[in-house]
Structure 1
């Protein structure tokens, strides 16, 4: 019998072969408190509507709480696993029931892995996407070697979703097992994780290393299946990939590569995204004719927008209404300006035609043109976000940036 066992009313910080110490108990119940707070917050945040500015603010608050508490749970889980690894493992109070011991040990191992993977995958998803609801820590908004990519974010979101279910199942089995020990078996399995030190039998059965090894194998099999399932979910093709791509266009200048980005302000944070599918017919001459240098006609596939964590919201009827208006068009003549050029165009978007002037710079070298331009639009001009009448949660301004490289068609 150890010194800890000899003083049952004064438990020490370390485990013994019979009892859990105060450190293990504290980490256990702190983990439980954080999980039983973070999981309901996540469920409520996901279900919370965002049909108005006030609702969006509440949704962001709930998600920030969920993420912040989840990240704290991650570090507490790491501390708990580290402490368990360097401490003696109290022997089971179950005797003569190897299957029950096997399932209990495997459940603990699955629970430990899920305690790490669930918050870590959520953290990686947060770092890979742009959007509202920041983590309330002085770190962690972005992570080294984690690109801000919707594909990467979707991959880790799938892991987070699947392992959350595995974590919930492990917690449920853990609770059922503890209650069974307390009310049916009437042993001290639950009591020895509570404050104080319960009376224990003089002799505790040794579960044996063989049973624990089998539990490890079973837990690894469950981990592998869950990781494979999460990976398959994460690699699933985005539904937007099924949207027909715009047909190629022919013009005096052919676009070889380029980006079309937008930035919106949501709850005071900049959220940047881009359209993956757009075409541009460009007719341009260095020498003006009747004061004009040519004309541009741009067509944009709205469904190709990626806007971080708010992509779905942006494509809904409240904003772009992509289901009804699948494309936008910007066209107009090109004229010289004091610095560079401008397109005096009309932007047809979400069922409205609004005049828009796009200033841009142009450099031509060896029949290759490099273009860069930016304009700020007002979402209200296009009837977007009527449920967000002020800028407390959604800014009015939308910054549009275009950068492209084009080659003269006759030079191809």
Structure 2
């Protein structure tokens, strides 16, 4: 196994994992260890590697041949059976980071920032060091408050057992670069207690993005663990259609309380969306469309769709309406597709290049009819207009797919395994490690 021989585990999060042929198979998501009685350092059992599509699998540490800052290389084959954590196993990043422990030298509290593992002569890997941050207490006179330092594993107590009110800053920092959908998958795997702690530690925007990627029951669960003011702030940060879908799952009294606490300008479109039945164009649409008046120029339109925070489907076209340009708008004049914008001079007016050939959708149109319309005309989004010609919103293809797929499709993606059979070698490795601990 190549240097470095001491590896800080939080720094492994997201590192690419390669097979013997040099092909990348996934990324490191966590490290599995077996905690031991007394002060003996935990034994490392293996890595949790996320492979596509968002499936965690187990890679025994004995198969890992190279660990470097930018890659992990293993030999043999990677069993694609879904990783299932066992009672005697602990996930370092998910469960040990941010834990409050005590230094044995003076019984002062410190917070776990990272832990390090090292190989032994017998080819085992053990967790030997703990990086901690001083938070104050009786030992604070000798070390400054907030100071980061490294101690031996046996110099601290409190690593085992359930901690109530555990922080989540370290876990969040370890996966800071992940896309919302990937972090949602990791949060989905956490126990409810830990999931709640992580949700509380995330900022409103990040939590809003992650909620949109979680199954509905977990969205409701997380929102229920937040105080009402925080829950309303998170709903403010969500896309109106996603916020409406989530609120639609709540009891009427709770839904109305949260709507009242939301910012009025954020709550108004959500209230409008809640009026429409699920499975209709009105129930599928969002009000976050690019809407411009007829005297706007092509240059202005291009500036709007360049917004990196705009969903790609919504950035594919601009809707031209008479004022007001907030839904429900003035009279809808037509749609300008972004490819047409690229072909026109910047000074041209959008009103002169609108596509008026396609009739807009009505809010009562069924899900199947909306899907057929988008497929027939090769569109990624379409305008929804009422009988008076006012633009109400837009339906994008991703929202249609969300509703066409089975209700539990997110759980299926997160939980399905390519092969449910047991890998004998992996089973033997894990049982051997546990048996050695029981014998001691």
- Scaled by the length of structure 1, the TM-score of the pair is 0.29
Q: Which has the larger radius of gyration?
A: 1
Structure with the bigger RCO (C-alpha within 8 Å, sep 6+) is 1
Q: Which structure has greater helix proportion?
A: 1
